[in-house]
Amino acid sequence: MTTTPIAGRATAVAARATDLSKVYGQGETQVVALDRVSVEFRQAEFTAIMGPSGSGKSTLMHCVAGLDTFSSGSVRIGDTELGSLKDRQLTKLRRDKIGFIFQAFNLLPTLTALENITLPMDIAGRKPDRQWLDSVIDMVGLRDRLGHRPSQLSGGQQQRVAVARALASRPDIIFGDEPTGNLDSRSGAEVLGFLRNSVRELGQTVVMVTHDPVAAAYADRVVFLADGRIVDEMYRPTADAVLDFMKQFDAKGRTS
């Protein structure tokens, strides 16, 4: 397994889904959330997953991130096949290899900002790498807020804490679920900037689910999902291009 976070601009794959299917229910009431999806997330790449509601974009992320089980196919994080893992091993994998950023920040109100940032390492019983931690904290600009509790921080600051938490343990890959969904546009832009910087400067791999074309434009690549299938992808997206595509796509969706 490669654990070096900075692998240069290599095209090594951080996570890969092959023929991934997720089916709810049986028989007549069967709902296919993911239909034989194959996708790769390369190291040091910032990928956005887009698609209309119910397209399966969140399900895809949850399955790849080891948060949800899948019906068939395979998911690999680095060299680890997720399908064969038990809950404990999955938990350990999430703890050590994956970082998360949620829409609702999901910080622990009883912990200070710093404690929230180091939480995954505390859980693992590891000492954080001081230097790395310092650089992450400086990057998100939280140096003077470390002793504050989440309730004393603004939404943007809280999400910056969440970003720092995801980065602090140097995971192989970071998953974000609508990370700017609860933020105003300025705070949202800040958070997206941090994510992009972490990819460009630190070689971090980031996968983000979003419905906001502006957010998607920060990514290196956008993957479009509809009805549980990947319908298209776009490299070096701009907000306008993404918006155009979505419009087109929506229209197609309506006529079909």
Partner 1 sequence: MFRTALRNVLAHKARLMMTVLAVMLGVSFVVGTLVFTNTLSNALQNSSAKGFDHVDVAVTAEAQESKGNQLARTPELTDELLERSAEVPGAASAIGVVQGFTAIADKDGDLVGGGFQSQGGNYWGTKDERYPLVDGHAPKGENQVLIDSETAKRTGYKVGDTVRLSIDGPVLKPTVVGIFTTDDGNVAAGGSLALFDTATAQKLFGKAGTYDEIDVRAAAGTSEDQLKAALDKALPKDKVETITGGELADDQAEMISSSMSGLKQGMLVFAGISLFVGTFIIANTFTMLVAQRTKELALLRAVGASRRQVTRSVLIEAFVVGAVAGTAGLLAGIGIGAGLRSLMGALDATVPDGPLVISSGTVATALGVGVVITMLAAWLPGRRAAKIPPVAAMSSLHAQATTKSLVLRNTLGALFSAAGVAVVLAATGMDGSSGQAPMGIGAVLLIIGVFILTPLLSRPLIAAATPVMRIFGVSGKLARQNSVRNPRRTAATASALMIGLTLITGMTVMAGSLQQGIDKMASSALRADYVVSMANGNYLSTDVDRTLRELDGVTATSPLRNAPSRIGGETEYLTGVDGSSITQLTELPVDSGAFEVGGGKVVVDDETAKSKGWRAGSTFTVHYEDGKSDKLTVAGVYEGNEMIRGIMIDNRILTPHLEEPADMQVMVKTADGTSEATKDRLEKALGNNPAIAVQDKKDISNEIAQMFTLILNMVYGLLAMAVIVAVLGVINTLAMSVFERSQEIGMLRAVGLDRKGIKRMVRLESLVISLFGGVLGIGLGVFFGWAAGELLAAKMPTYELILPWTRMGVFLLLAAVVGVLAALWPARRAARLNMLAAIKSE
Give 62's Cβ-side CA count (13 Å radius): 12
Which tokens is 12 given? 């090594």
We find the least distance from the C-beta atom of residue 81 to partner 1, in angstroms, to be 19
- Measured between its terminal Cα atoms, the distance across the chain in Å is 44
Please say which residue, 68 or 220, places its beta carbon nearer to partner 1.
68
Q: How far apart are CA 232 and CA 223, in angstroms?
A: 6
Q: Is beta strand 13-24 parallel, antiparallel or unpaired with respect to 31-42?
A: antiparallel
We find the least distance from the C-beta atom of residue 157 to partner 1, in angstroms, to be 15
Q: How far apart are CA 136 and CA 11, in angstroms?
A: 24
Please say which residue, 198 or 249, places its beta carbon nearer to partner 1.
198
Interface with partner 1 (CB under 8 A): 62, 67-68, 87-88, 91-92, 94-96, 99-100, 102-104, 106, 108-111, 119-120, 122-125, 151, 165, 177-178, 181-182
We find the least distance from the C-beta atom of residue 129 to partner 1, in angstroms, to be 17
Please say which residue, 6 or 124, places its beta carbon nearer to partner 1.
124
Please say which residue, 62 or 145, places its beta carbon nearer to partner 1.
62
Please say which residue, 25 or 125, places its beta carbon nearer to partner 1.
125
We find the least distance from the C-beta atom of residue 22 to partner 1, in angstroms, to be 12
Q: Are 43 and 10 in contact (CB under 8 A)?
A: yes
We find the least distance from the C-beta atom of residue 179 to partner 1, in angstroms, to be 11
* Selection from 163, 60, 50 nearest residue 113 by Cα: 163
* Selection from 116, 222, 121, 227 nearest residue 164 by Cα: 116
We find the least distance from the C-beta atom of residue 9 to partner 1, in angstroms, to be 28
Please say which residue, 92 or 229, places its beta carbon nearer to partner 1.
92
Give CA separation, 82 vs 18, 41, 63, in Å: 12, 15, 9
**Sheet architecture: strand order including 13-24:** 31-42, 13-24, 72-77, 80-81
